[in-house]
């Protein structure tokens, strides 16, 4: 059995066990997802009100509506909370019990991410369905399967990018006593630059070049733009090229830093 097959089988088993453990807390997923959808729906109402009162924006009502309806799903689907847990395992030495077993050290965190997202989706999708139905007259629904397939790929790559950035930050815990400030900084910066708070299309025109090429755009905004916006074929190609490039870059950096970190690991505790 090769390494990939073995790791996939381990991942499947871990994900199943994680689902078994987390499904105990089903009520909390509903509350989590209500909170998750609250901000985009509030933003949607504010921007629609602004447009109704004659605000001149570079995007129309259909873009704003589609953007915020999809935003709750995409931010959840591409989110990662692994950095704090990985850093804690490094700092407290609990990584040790995984290090002596023949499987990737990150599989447990991947399984945790996948299983939580699956359970959150079960709670979130009906809520988004209701919001979609309420605003159905203003939604952009691309014809055909193509845009939705590209949307799915962009969400997947966005999720990989966020997770990889998390590993990169967490790996610094091999040298730093506390990386929580870095984790928090990443969350704050990403929430603005990913388009999770305000659509990047509404950013000042002088910031346009930077905003369009920075990595966080590809974690949230880019997948939503594929459905809500009118990205041309060239813009799509450039977008996917940049997204893939950032995934590879973050992956290589995370791998190098992680490998160096393992050499510095002190395996504290008995």
Partner 1 sequence: MIAARELTKTYTFHQQRAGLGGALRSLVRRNYETRLAVDRIGFEIGRGEVVGLLGPNGAGKTTTLKMLSGLLYPTSGELAVLGHRPSERKHDYLRRIALVMGQKSMLWWDVPAMESLLLHKEMYGLSTAEFERNVDELAELLDVRELLDVQVRKTSLGERMKLELMAALVHGPEILFLDEPTIGLDVVAKARVRSFLAEVNKLRGTTILITSHDMDDIEALCSRVMIIDHGRLQFDGALDELVRTARPRKLVRATYAAPLGDGVLAGVEGVSGVEVDGLTVRLEVDRDRAGDVLGALTRLGPLVDLDVADADVEDIMRDLFERRGEPS
Binding site for partner 1 (CB under 8 A): 1, 3, 6, 9-10, 12-14, 17, 20-21, 24, 93-94, 96-97, 99-103, 262-263, 265-267, 269-270
Q: What's the min distance (Å) between Cβ of 248 and partner 1?
A: 25
d(C-alpha 133, C-alpha 13), whole Å: 37
Name the minimum Å distance from CB 117 to partner 1. 19
The smaller minimum CB distance to partner 1, of residues 3 and 42, is found at 3
Instruction: With both helix axes pointing from N to C terminus, report the angle between 26-52 and 107-134 in degrees, rounded to the nearest 10.
Output: 50
Measured from the CB atom, is 103 or 244 closer to partner 1? 103
Instruction: Give the C-alpha separation, 261 to 48, whole Å.
Output: 48
Q: Smallest distance, Å, CB 97 to partner 1?
A: 4
Q: Which is nearer to partner 1, 137 or 177 (CB)?
A: 177
If we measure between CA atoms, which residue out of 104, 82, 97, 87 comes closest to residue 14?
Answer: 104
Shorter beta-carbon distance to partner 1: residue 142 or 261: 261
CB of 57 to partner 1, least distance (A): 46
Tokens for 211?
Answer: 């905003």
- CA atoms of 137 and 117, how far apart (whole Å): 29
Closest CB 81 distance from partner 1, rounded Å: 18
Closest approach, Cβ 6 to partner 1, in A, equals 6
Q: How far apart are CA 113 and CA 110, in angstroms?
A: 5
**Which pair of tokens denotes residue 251?**
């992956």
- Of the two residues 240 and 265, which places its CB atom closer to partner 1 in the complex? 265
For 267, residues 6+ apart whose C-beta sits below 8 A from its C-beta are: 93, 95, 96, 99
Nearer to partner 1 among residue 3 and residue 49 (C-beta): 3
Rounded to an integer, what is the distance from CA 198 to the centroid of its chain? Answer: 16
List of E strands, the chain: none
């Amino acid at each position: 059995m090769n390494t990939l097959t073995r790791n996939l089988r381990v991942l499947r088993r871990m994900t199943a066990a994680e689902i078994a453990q987390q499904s105990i807390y089903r009520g909390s997923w509903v509350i989590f997802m209500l909170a998750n959808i609250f901000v985009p729906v509030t933003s949607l109402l504010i921007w629609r009100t602004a447009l109704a009162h004659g605000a001149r924006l570079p995007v129309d009502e259909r873009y704003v509506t589609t953007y915020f309806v999809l935003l709750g799903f995409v931010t959840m689907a591409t989110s990662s909370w692994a950095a704090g847990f990985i850093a804690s395992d490094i700092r407290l030495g609990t990584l040790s019990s995984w290090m002596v077993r023949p499987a990737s050290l990150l599989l447990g965190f991947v399984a945790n991410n996948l299983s939580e997202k699956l359970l959150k989706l079960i709670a979130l999708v009906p809520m988004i369905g209701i919001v979609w139905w309420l605003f159905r007259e203003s939604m952009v629904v691309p014809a055909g399967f193509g845009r939705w397939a590209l949307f799915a790929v962009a969400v997947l790559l966005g999720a990989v990018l966020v997770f990889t950035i998390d590993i990169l930050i967490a790996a610094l815990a091999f040298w730093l006593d506390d990386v929580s400030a870095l984790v928090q900084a990443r969350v704050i910066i990403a929430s603005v630059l990913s388009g999770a708070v305000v659509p990047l299309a509404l950013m000042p025109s002088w910031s346009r070049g930077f905003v369009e090429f920075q990595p966080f755009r590809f974690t949230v905004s880019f997948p939503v733009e594929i459905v809500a916006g009118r990205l041309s074929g060239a813009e799509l190609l450039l977008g996917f090229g940049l997204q893939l490039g950032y995934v590879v870059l973050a992956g290589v950096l995370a791998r190098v830093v992680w490998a160096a970190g393992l050499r510095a690991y002190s395996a504290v505790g008995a």
